[in-house]
């Protein structure tokens, strides 16, 4: 869609869902990206290159709600802002066009949902809980040795990556209260198998079984050759969905030292449909590696659940 003025100037309105749309723009004087949080940094940089013509006073404008400090926008605008840039912070209180009903709804959010109000009401960097896959968790200091002495089950999972992060997650499971305690992590990209084996040796794992993606049989064989008790995680139809449902139905307590696991929990979300704007069952991949490792650690539990049936005579039928 475009609007053309008598002097030939144009306002072009378009989505950023394909690279072809970006490449079709040339000699642009101003680009305004609304909801910049939903746009990848690479696409923003591409648009910036589209403004390298002879136009006067070229500007790139980004507007967004500051949902998370883990977004590239925090680094781009707060930590390492470009030269000749201006950062403007405003809230709904600065908008003279809002009606009283809308203002009242936002005011009530301060009590009803403080975390969301911090982002959408005050315009402060925070965590947007809407759309997050896992919300049933808290960060808390605890002594893993003390919990282990209570008989909590030791479980370990590992997600393998190369360009993506490799993650090893060390946990204790309180089965009675359906609570997982995450107390140690390894999180790094570009790891050789030997480095991962060394990391396992340096963690509080010992001979505990380490559940690994079953799609990596050679890796599992290598770990076993290094005297690591590696086991391919159980898989089956909808195993990813079943694993996420298990984590959603279990409370997670995360030790403050597990910063990458916390970072993923704050950002692992459902994707939105480009057609409807509604959330789908598909999840983001970027923030899933530590969570996948945790899911693998419990794969034998959620893949072995079966529907129990009773003979009708037991029910008197």
Residue 312 predicted with pLDDT over 70: no
CB 175 within 8 A of CB 195: no
How many residues are there in the chain? 317
> Looking at residue 313, what is its pLDDT?
47
What is the β-pairing status of strands 279-283 and 230-232?
Answer: unpaired
Per-residue pLDDT tens for 116-130? 788 889 998 876 667
User: pLDDT tens for residues 22-75?
Assistant: 667 777 888 899 989 888 888 888 888 777 656 567 888 999 988 888 788 998
List where CATH 3.30.420.280 sits in the chain: 137-302
d(CA 255, CA 185): 10
Q: What would the mean pLDDT of 196-215 be, rounded to a whole number? A: 94
> pLDDT-derived band of residue 84, with 50, 70 and 90 as boundaries?
confident
At residue 310, does pLDDT exceed 70?
A: no
Beta pairing class for 59-63 and 137-139: unpaired
pLDDT at 168 over 50: yes
What DSSP element (H or E) covers 183? Answer: strand 179-189
Give the integer Cα–Cα distance in Å for 27 and 49.
Answer: 10
Asked whether the CA dihedral 184, 206, 291, 167 is positive or negative, the reply is positive
Q: 235-283: per-residue pLDDT in tens?
A: 766 889 999 999 999 999 999 999 999 989 988 988 888 888 788 888 9
Reduced to 3 states, what is the DSSP secondary structure of residue 140?
Answer: coil
Name residue 10's beta-bridge partners.
Answer: 4
Q: Give the Cα separation of 299 and 245 in Å (integer).
A: 11
> Tell me, what's the pLDDT at 276?
81
Top CATH class of 137-302 equals alpha beta
Q: Report the distance separating Cα 46 and Cα 150, nearest Å.
A: 55
d(CA 48, CA 29): 10
Task: Indicate left, alpha or beta for 222 from its phi (over 0: left) and psi (-120 to 50: alpha).
Answer: alpha
Q: How far apart are CA 295 and CA 133, in angstroms?
A: 13
pLDDT at 315: 38
The model's pLDDT over 209-230, given as tens digits with 9 standing for 90+, comes to 999 988 888 999 999 999 999 9
| Per-residue pLDDT, 54 | 60
pLDDT at 47: 82
pLDDT of residue 314: 39
Please state the rounded mean pLDDT for residues 170-195. 96
The model carries a pTM of 0.63
List, for residues 145-163, the tens digit of each pLDDT value.
999 999 999 999 999 998 8
Q: Which residues contact 306 (CB under 8 A, 6 or more apart)?
A: none
| pLDDT tier, 18 (very low <50, low <70, confident <90, very high otherwise) | low
Q: Are 150 and 172 in contact (CB under 8 A)?
A: no
């Amino acid at each position: 869609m475009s609007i053309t003025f008598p002097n030939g100037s144009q306002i072009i309105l378009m989505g950023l869902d394909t690279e072809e749309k970006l490449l079709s723009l040339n000699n642009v004087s101003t680009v305004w990206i609304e909801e910049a949080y939903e746009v990848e940094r690479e696409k923003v940089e591409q648009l910036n290159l589209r403004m390298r013509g002879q136009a006067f006073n070229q500007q790139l404008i980004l507007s967004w709600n500051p949902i998370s400090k883990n977004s590239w926008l925090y680094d781009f605008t707060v930590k390492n802002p470009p030269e000749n840039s201006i950062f403007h912070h405003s809230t709904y209180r600065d908008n003279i066009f809002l009606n009283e009903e809308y203002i009242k709804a936002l005011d009530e959010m301060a009590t009803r949902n403080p975390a969301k109000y911090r982002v959408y009401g005050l315009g402060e960097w925070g965590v947007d809980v809407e759309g997050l896959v896992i919300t049933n968790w808290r960060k808390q200091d605890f002594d893993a040795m003390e919990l282990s002495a209570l008989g909590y089950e030791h479980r370990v999972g590992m997600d393998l990556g190369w360009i993506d992060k490799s993650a090893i997650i060390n946990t204790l499971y309180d089965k009675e209260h359906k609570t997982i305690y995450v107390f140690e992590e390894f999180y790094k990209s570009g790891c050789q198998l030997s480095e991962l084996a060394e990391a396992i040796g340096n963690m509080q794992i010992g001979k505990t079984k380490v559940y690994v993606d079953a799609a990596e049989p050679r890796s599992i064989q290598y770990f076993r050759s290094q005297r690591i008790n590696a086991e391919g995680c159980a898989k089956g139809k909808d195993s990813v969905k079943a694993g996420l449902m298990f984590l959603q139905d279990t409370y997670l307590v995360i030790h403050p030292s597990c910063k990458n696991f916390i970072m993923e929990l704050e950002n692992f979300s459902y994707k939105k449909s480009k057609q409807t704007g509604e959330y789908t069952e598909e999840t983001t991949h970027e923030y899933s590696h530590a969570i996948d490792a945790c899911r693998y650690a419990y794969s034998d539990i959620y893949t072995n659940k079966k529907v129990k049936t009773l003979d009708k005579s037991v029910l008197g039928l």
